[in-house]
Amino acid sequence: MSASELAWFKSSYSGSEGDSCVEVAVDGRAVRVRDSKDVTRPDFAIGRDVWSRFVGEL
């Protein structure tokens, strides 16, 4: 699935400026992360289990 086909979202804590956030999207195999300031740059994928551990530590 291409990045343009994904449903990207930001944290509700990011505010309305959107100038210092990342966006995430979930596809069938991974959580994808990209820079919200420049969505033309490549995103990167993190395994769903790794993402769950990361978020659990926050």
Q: Is the CB of residue 12 less than 8 Å from the CB of residue 22?
A: no
- What is the Cα–Cα distance from 44 to 41, expressed in whole angstroms? 10
d(CA 5, CA 15): 24
Our count of domains for the chain comes to 1
30 belongs to a structural domain: yes
Let me know if residue 20 belongs to a domain. yes
The answer to whether residue 45 sits within a structural domain is: no
Global pTM value: 0.73
| Tens-digit pLDDT profile for residues 23-55 | 899 988 899 998 888 878 889 999 999 999 998
Contact 32, 24 (CB under 8 A): yes
Residue 49 included in any domain: no
More confident residue, 11 or 9: 9
- Of residues 53, 5, 56, 10, the one with CA closest to residue 28: 5
- Domain span at residue 5? 1-38
